A and B are shown apart, each in its own frame.
Chain A
Amino acid sequence: MPTPTDQDQSDLPTPRPISIVRTRGDRVFRRLATGAGLATFVILALIGLFLLLEALPALKDQGWKFFTNFEWNPPPRGTTFGIGAVMYWTVVVATISLVIAVPVSIATALFITEYAPPWLGRPLTSLVDLLAAVPSLIYGMWGVLFLNPRMIGLSEWLSTHLGFIPIFEVHNDAFGNSAFVGGSILSLMVIPICTAVMREVFSQAPAGEKEGALALGGTRWGMIRAVVLPFGKGGIVGASMLGLGRALGETIVLALVLSPSFLISPRILERGANSVGALIANNFGEGGSGLGLNALMAAGLSLFLLTLVVNTLASVVVARSRSGQGVEI
């Protein structure tokens, strides 16, 4: 492409256009690799498609009421079913887990990147990652037998002294197996995910700005507040949403810990909560075939779409933020 300067000095040689001729091996290689990349998309699309196909009879049967009905009585037992209450509890439990997990994750990520000496920071990183490697089933069993009984005291105390706030109210002394207990256990599983992303983000805070803040006489906390936290805002939001996606999809822990409830109530300390995953796991055996199974598929489809939206948003938020450039989530 001749530019004005080229025309002025037309005696200068113009660069030869470079054309890439790939060998046949390379063309196959590129197609193969691209195919592998697209396989992820195909699998996701197939999951959505087949769940939709199986869910359609149930969705047709109930119409939009599927999303607003509270009770779950599919054909062998009854005629109305919907995931209104189950979805409500899924979101409540996930929110409780985030309320606990996000501050803890921010603190841990800051401690590892800004405070801890290497001899402490590296083992701590390993231990937090180990928390992620513990199978969810073991969280569930531990939650039922170890944590649940130990949370009753705390729940009682909260409801006695803060019971005037609706969410801490408890009727009929039904403590334990509550959304609060479920959310607490989930928070342990969410913390490693959030911490890993936040740690990455904080570690990329520009050293020049950090040193500038310290050189101006700022304390370490002042430097963190002025540089690290504003820099990592996008990463914090993205990491929290990623944690939310995980918490929404959790199955086994909640199937074991929660005592299923199909009523909406704001009382998070009271026995009874639910989650879509737990609903499917608990009802799969007796769902048998026909509309009962279709109903479970419809619940699975709703869960799939919800987590897909949350996770994709999280991925985009992290990638778009200033701090998230090059951060893997």
Chain B
Amino acid sequence: MPSAEAFESATQVREVLGAFDYIADEALSVSVFLAGKLGRPLLVEGAPGVGKTELAKVVSRALDTELIRLQCYEGLDLAHAAYEWNYPRQLLEIQARGVLRGGAGADAASAPAAVDELFSERYLLRRPLLDAIDPRRERAPVLLIDELDRADEEFESFLLELLSDFQITIPELGTIRAARRPFVLLTSNRTREVHDALRRRCLYQWIDYPSADKEKQILERKVVGLPQLLARQIVEFAEGLRAAGLYKAPGVAESVDWARALTLLGVQSLDVASVRATLGCLVKHRDDVDRLSGGLAEALLSRASGS
């Protein structure tokens, strides 16, 4: 039965991820391997579009287990991340009992038991975090806490308990602890610094833009029918853009999109016209578009064809 601890070695991680079209370098596969073995969460940082979220999806497929995703946003609280009581149902229940009691007379002895009943599993709504550590699970899931930098400090402090002990305390119900530790992956785009206390509870991995070779491999695996020459040109063009100091440099996700668009249009080799026509797949900031239209595209193209 596959679980996060089932990875035998970093090399195996690399092969398994590769089989699902995710090309991981050595450092990343060591981190994933250790995260599984040590049962620690893995914090992944990097520029947008370098495959942070994709990593979680691929790991869950490789382990053949469920992926539970929690998208962070400002103001995210326990009620949306961990659990909530089903208020409408509770209120109805309270009213129904009030009606019954009004008919049959007060029953003081059963009141505490009735309250306990009101805060039982029946009225509990499970959100992603509680779902991930459900002790009744037979297989540890992959828990993806995506774009942690979008949440606020208050949410981070709440995560501290969860990520060190894999338990959540519900005051009315008691502590719920995972029987099997989920494989936890946190991602951050660094629009805010993640606090040190949380960092230290995690393994850390920075994903950089891939090397030209690696990016070409990724393109060839992801885009069916991509001509060799075009793949090389796209990779060189994207690298040039990343070095040019744009406001929003294209990630791998963008170059894959671009390659798909060019393939759909039947482009065999890059030229100014095809770059202009498909610019929107690659750069997404008005001033970057201006720069590309204003001569940068020609400069990069001449370099790509010259090499």
Q: Is this pair of chains taken from one and the same complex?
A: no
Tell me the A residues contacting B by CB distance below 8 Å.
none
List chain B positions with a Cβ less than 8 A from chain A: none
